[in-house]
Amino acid sequence: MFDQKNIFITGGTGSWGNELVKQLLEKYNPKKITIYSRGEHKQVEMKRHFNNPKLRFIIGDVRDKNILELAMRGADFVFHLAALKHVPVCEENCWEAVLTNVIGTQNVIECAIKNKVAKVIDVSTDKAVDPFNLYGVTKACGEKLVVNANNNYISDVKFACIRGGNVMGTNGSVLPLFKKQILENNQITITDPNMTRYLMSTREAISLVFSAMEASNGGEIFVMRMPATTVSDIAEVMIKLFGNKDTKIQYMGTRPGEKQHEVLVSKNEAPRTKIYKDDYYVIIPQITDEKTQNSYDSFKSLELEEFTSRNARRLSKQELETLILKEDWIK
Ligand SMILES: NC(=O)c1ccc[n+]([C@@H]2O[C@H](COP(=O)([O-])OP(=O)(O)OC[C@H]3O[C@@H](n4cnc5c(N)ncnc54)[C@H](OP(=O)(O)O)[C@@H]3O)[C@@H](O)[C@H]2O)c1
């Protein structure tokens, strides 16, 4: 669906953006991919890395609607990735998080409508479900704006979301941090060993983004049926890979805004959630048209009360190790 199309990516220089561009170029033949972000350094690095004339880099902020609208001209599909995403940073800079994650998302919606884009996919997070920190609250607001944009405005643009859990090796992920801590001090700091977290590779995350862009009728939230692990299992496997019998573990306790378990489908959403193609759940919007409703009629309903990192399939330590060893950053 992306062949000879113009793709526009906000926040395209980040971890998800780099993998998204890589897979778009590998699997499709897009006409142009525009990457819109603020930092010139990351853009220059990415331009050098890909060295592909199909890529167009534009410096801009999602908060700046005028530039965003100009930059988005001619786009067929928009992937909205730009966000402030570190829980402590958002707690300490609340208004900045609102400006980027909420106002920025509304700007993306309005510019997509003005530019008559075909589809917009907003990348959201498990932290947006029953949110407990400001990052989650702003991403939940973003989801609502995106889902409701299908009904709030008269336009042909289709808006949908995807929700992912932790992606290994992305900026700020705990796994590369553990590696660094072991190699530098032969010690790791962990919050709570029993904490559970969803875990997937960037490659898997991007396949969910493509599926959502292809399948969406507008208003759905696509969720990957991700497996989960405990913080203590991650620590154990990382020590096995990089440490030795003297590697120490320091326990810090839960940080402000952190949950013991994450949720990808809440109790309120579960009754309108369908199992889509074995790998995904799709949450049908509360307000929707007959076409969207009918298109999921034949899919089985979710039979869980909610989908959490506690009741998700638990990765064995061997599976976890195999997953980690496939990651590029491990080298
Ligand atoms: N990583 C995960 O585990 C995970 C899991 C679930 C969902 N997500 C979501 O996935 C998306 C991408 O995450 P990521 O891990 O790729 O993050 P990342 O590596 O931190 O990348 C964020 C991107 O957004 C850009 N950006 C930030 N503020 C911006 C602004 N105001 N205007 C324009 N661009 C801006 C950044 O570039 P500049 O700073 O140069 O502008 C960068 O390109 C986010 O929406 C995040 O909430 C991530």
C-alpha–C-alpha distance, residues 274 and 304, integer Å: 11
Annotated catalytic residue 267:
no
DSSP symbol at 31 = S
> Which among 127, 139, 179, 259 is annotated as catalytic?
127
- Is the pLDDT at 331 greater than 80? The verdict is no
Structurally, the chain folds into a number of domains equal to 1
Q: Which residues form the domain of 91?
A: 6-165+199-226+263-308
Q: Is the CB of 63 under 6 A from ligand 1?
A: yes
- Measured from the Cα of 61, ligand 1's closest atom is 32
Atom 7 of ligand 1: nearest residue by CA position: 125
Whether 244 is in a domain gets the answer no
Q: Is the CB of 15 under 6 A from ligand 1?
A: yes
- What separation in Å is there between the alpha carbon of 211 and the centre of ligand 1? 20
Each residue's pLDDT tens digit, 75-84: 999 999 999 9
Average pLDDT over residues 162-170: 91
CATH number, domain of 297, equals 3.40.50.720
Q: Is the CB of 261 under 6 A from ligand 1?
A: no
Q: Is the CB of 149 under 6 A from ligand 1?
A: no
- What pLDDT, on a 0 to 100 scale, did the predictor assign at position 170? 85
Q: Which residue's structure tokens are 């900026």? A: 171
pTM of the full structure: 0.96
Q: Which residue's structure tokens are 């299992």? A: 233
Whether 171 is in a domain gets the answer no
- Between 291 and 130, the more confident residue is 130
Average pLDDT over residues 161-170: 91
Q: Which of 43, 59, 81 to mutate to test the pocket of ligand 1 (most atoms within 8 A of CB)?
A: 81
- What separation in Å is there between the alpha carbon of 13 and the centre of ligand 1? 8
Whether 123 is in a domain gets the answer yes
- What pLDDT, on a 0 to 100 scale, did the predictor assign at position 292? 82
- Measured from the Cα of 166, ligand 1's closest atom is 3
Each residue's pLDDT tens digit, 96-113: 999 999 999 999 999 999
- Is the pLDDT at 290 greater than 80? The verdict is yes
Whether 145 is in a domain gets the answer yes
Q: Which of 37, 45, 57, 198 to mutate to test the pocket of ligand 1 (most atoms within 8 A of CB)?
A: 37
Average pLDDT over residues 177-200: 93
Segment 16-21 long-range contacts (CB within 8 Å, at least 24 positions apart): 16/81, 16/123, 16/167, 16/170, 16/202, 16/205, 16/206, 16/209, 17/46, 17/81, 18/46, 18/49, 19/202, 19/203, 19/205, 19/206, 20/79, 20/81, 20/206, 20/209, 21/46, 21/50, 21/55
The 3-state DSSP class for residue 198 equals strand
Measure the N-to-C terminal CA separation of the chain; round to a whole number of Å: 34
Q: Is the CB of 100 under 6 A from ligand 1?
A: yes
Q: Is the CB of 135 under 6 A from ligand 1?
A: no
Q: Is the CB of 243 under 6 A from ligand 1?
A: no
Whether 325 is in a domain gets the answer no
- Based on the number of CB atoms within 10 Å of its own CB, is 254 exposed (0-12), middle (13-18) or buried (19 or more)? exposed
Whether 127 is in a domain gets the answer yes
Task: Convert 24-56 to b/e letters by CB count within 10 Å (16 or more is b).
Answer: beeeeebebbbbbbbeeebbeebeeebeeebbe
Whether 239 is in a domain gets the answer no
Atom 13 of ligand 1: nearest residue by CA position: 16
